[in-house]
């Protein structure tokens, strides 16, 4: 089997070689992120995966937001050829993933151990620093309390004060002596733990399990269990490792398809896409982050809006878990009747409802027109659109007539009042039936884009269905 470009050992640049899995269509977002966040080099991608080289530690790698899972790359090779070849020969080819270049395996295992050891050392040092800080704060509090007591006692007996001061100084010296001994003991204990961990890693009794994913012609010819068994036996014979399906120290991930063969080590047990603060599930976290990254958000005041009580309650639970309940204001409003002044918002990010439960139809026009109204000139809209919504908007764009602001009836009495929130006016939003009808008729004739200029669009996978992340810029005042 020949090496594919980008396999470990094919270059000498510093840093470790990793790859991340990503939802289909999110590869460009992930490539930008690893370059910006990790200063990654040699960034390349294939469908569903992004490969890169970086010197970043685990704490920095944990910060990736557009990736599903992170792996340390062992091998990336051209695919297995399974047509008109016996199973025995294919099994031999699979075993050559290990036998042909054991050095790449040993090198990856060494990097994996170093990453874990470095992370463990940083964690222990951080814990030790926290303990020392708490101890010093406690010592200071004791000293301050005793000094206050001395000052109070001075008013009663000066001679007694002198004795107490002497006693406190002796106690402080004893406390410092105890602290020094305790710190020395902790350092020795930390050193012993590190040596034990190193000794354990140096042993050849690593326990492991193999996780496989097979697709294409390989998936039709073999099950993931068959491939896992073949690879597992080869690892046990070649390296002397022990299989442990329940609680292994090491997991090996293999993906075989018609385009490539990839082998790696999962860096974290929990996927990067699993956010600890998400208590109520909603839009996939990687999709949400990709949308936010397109919006180029700076320092802002956030407002979240939904017409559903359950969605707002779920959002509130997530905000509390993330410690952001005082950073984002939630409003129960309809997206087609936003209680915001015209041109008062800089950025809008929205997951437009779709599916069997939500059939918007022509309402997609009104949604976009209302968003355009409240958006500031030069502002950005990022939408997640279903394939049907995207098709409708594309059709509207192709057959729409350029919008003429002179026909917008902006001089009609009552329209300004209609768009100002009730809280500021102190009056209810009353609009004559005739004006409301004429306004709706006018909106129906308008192009849904108005002054919104499409900037970029990305087709992404939501699992069972596809969708589009679309970005728009407002070029001029809409006149509404």
Q: Is the pTM of this model over 0.85?
A: no
Residue 394 inside a domain? The answer is yes
Report the SS3 class of residue 315.
Answer: helix
Strands (E), 55-185: 69-77
Backbone angles phi, psi at 32, to 5 degrees: -65, -40
> Do 451 and 478 form a contact (C-beta atoms < 8 A)?
yes
Residue 108 inside a domain? The answer is no
Question: What's the domain range around 393?
Answer: 285-398+434-474
Tokens of 472: 């728009």
Number of independent structural domains in the chain: 1
- Give the bridge partners for 386, in sequence order: 467
Q: Rounded distance, CA 285 to CA 477, Å?
A: 33
> What's residue 133's pLDDT?
61
Residue 268 inside a domain? The answer is no
Q: Is the pLDDT of residue 441 over 50?
A: no
> What's residue 105's pLDDT?
93
Question: If pLDDT is split at 50, 70 and 90, which confidence band does 291 have?
Answer: very high
For helices 87-99 and 102-154, angle between their N-to-C axes, nearest 10 degrees: 50
Higher pLDDT, 357 or 393: 393
> What's residue 282's pLDDT?
83
Higher pLDDT, 146 or 281: 281
pLDDT tens digits, 120-171: 777 666 666 555 666 666 666 677 766 676 666 666 655 555 554 555 455 5
Tokens of 133: 């800080």
Higher pLDDT, 169 or 316: 316
> What's residue 83's pLDDT?
74
Q: Rounded distance, CA 326 to CA 322, Å?
A: 11
CA 167 to mean position of chain CA atoms: 56
Residue 330 inside a domain? The answer is yes
> What's residue 335's pLDDT?
86
Q: Rounded distance, CA 264 to CA 18, Å?
A: 8
Higher pLDDT, 262 or 440: 262
Q: Is the pLDDT of residue 402 over 70?
A: no
> Do 450 and 397 form a contact (C-beta atoms < 8 A)?
no
Most confident range (mean pLDDT) of 223-237, 388-402, 408-422 is: 223-237
Report the SS3 class of residue 11.
Answer: coil
Whole-angstrom CA distances from 47 to 85, 288, 411 are: 27, 20, 54
**CATH number for the domain including 366?**
3.40.50.150
> What's residue 438's pLDDT?
44
Residue 20 inside a domain? The answer is no
Helix (H) or strand (E) holding 173: helix 158-202
Residue 296 inside a domain? The answer is yes
Mean pLDDT computed over 301-319: 90
Residue 161 inside a domain? The answer is no
Specify burial of residue 461 (Cβ count, 10 A radius: 0-12, 13-18, 19+): middle
Q: Is the pLDDT of residue 185 over 70?
A: no
Residue 276 inside a domain? The answer is no
Burial 14-39 (b: 16+ CB within 10 A, else e): ebbbbbbbbbebbbebbbebbeebbe
Q: Rounded distance, CA 404 to CA 178, Å?
A: 82
Higher pLDDT, 119 or 458: 458
Question: If pLDDT is split at 50, 70 and 90, which confidence band does 201 have?
Answer: very low
């Amino acid at each position: 089997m020949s090496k594919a470009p980008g396999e470990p050992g094919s270059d000498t640049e510093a840093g470790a070689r990793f790859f991340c899995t990503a939802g289909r269509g999110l590869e460009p977002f992930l490539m930008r992120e690893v370059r910006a966040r990790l200063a990654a080099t040699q960034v390349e991608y294939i469908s569903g995966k992004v490969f890169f080289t970086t010197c970043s530690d685990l704490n920095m790698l944990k910060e990736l937001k557009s990736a599903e899972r992170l792996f340390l790359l062992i091998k990336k090779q051209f695919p297995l050829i399974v047509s008109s070849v016996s199973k025995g020969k294919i099994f031999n080819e699979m075993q050559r993933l290990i036998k042909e270049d054991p050095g790449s395996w040993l090198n990856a295992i060494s990097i994996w151990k170093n990453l874990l050891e470095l992370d463990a050392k940083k964690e222990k040092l951080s814990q030790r620093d926290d303990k020392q800080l708490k101890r010093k704060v406690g010592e200071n509090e004791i000293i301050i309390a005793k000094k206050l007591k001395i000052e109070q006692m001075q008013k009663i007996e000066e001679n007694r004060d002198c004795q107490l001061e002497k006693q406190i100084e002796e106690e402080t010296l004893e406390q410092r002596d105890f602290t020094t001994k305790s710190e020395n003991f902790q350092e020795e204990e930390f050193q012993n733990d590190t040596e034990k961990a190193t000794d354990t890693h140096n042993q050849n009794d690593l326990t492991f399990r193999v996780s496989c994913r097979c697709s294409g012609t390989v998936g039709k010819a073999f099950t993931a269990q068959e491939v896992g068994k073949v690879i597992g036996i080869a690892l046990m014979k070649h390296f002397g490792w022990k299989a442990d399906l329940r609680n292994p120290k090491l997991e090996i991930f293999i993906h075989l398809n018609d385009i490539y063969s990839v082998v790696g080590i999962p860096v974290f047990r929990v996927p990067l896409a699993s956010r600890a603060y998400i208590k109520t599930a909603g839009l996939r976290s990687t999709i949400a982050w990709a949308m936010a990254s397109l919006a180029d958000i700076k320092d802002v005041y956030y407002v979240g809006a939904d017409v559903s009580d359950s969605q707002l309650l779920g959002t509130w639970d997530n905000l509390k878990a993330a410690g952001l309940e005082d950073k984002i204001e939630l409003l129960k409003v309809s997206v087609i009747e936003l209680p915001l002044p015209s041109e008062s918002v800089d950025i809008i990010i929205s997951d437009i409802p779709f599916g069997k439960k939500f059939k918007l139809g022509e309402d997609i026009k009104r949604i976009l027109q209302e968003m355009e109204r409240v958006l500031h000139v030069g502002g950005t809209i990022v939408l997640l659109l279903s394939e049907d919504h995207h098709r409708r908007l594309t059709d509207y764009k192709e057959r729409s007539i350029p919008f003429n602001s002179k026909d917008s009836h902006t001089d009609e009495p009552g329209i300004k009042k209609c768009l100002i929130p009730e809280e500021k006016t102190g009056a209810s939003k009353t609009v004559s039936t005739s004006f409301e009808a004429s306004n709706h008729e006018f909106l129906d004739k308008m192009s849904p884009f108005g002054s919104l200029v499409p900037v970029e669009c990305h087709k992404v996978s939501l699992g069972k269905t596809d969708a589009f992340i679309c970005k728009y810029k407002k070029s001029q005042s809409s006149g509404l």
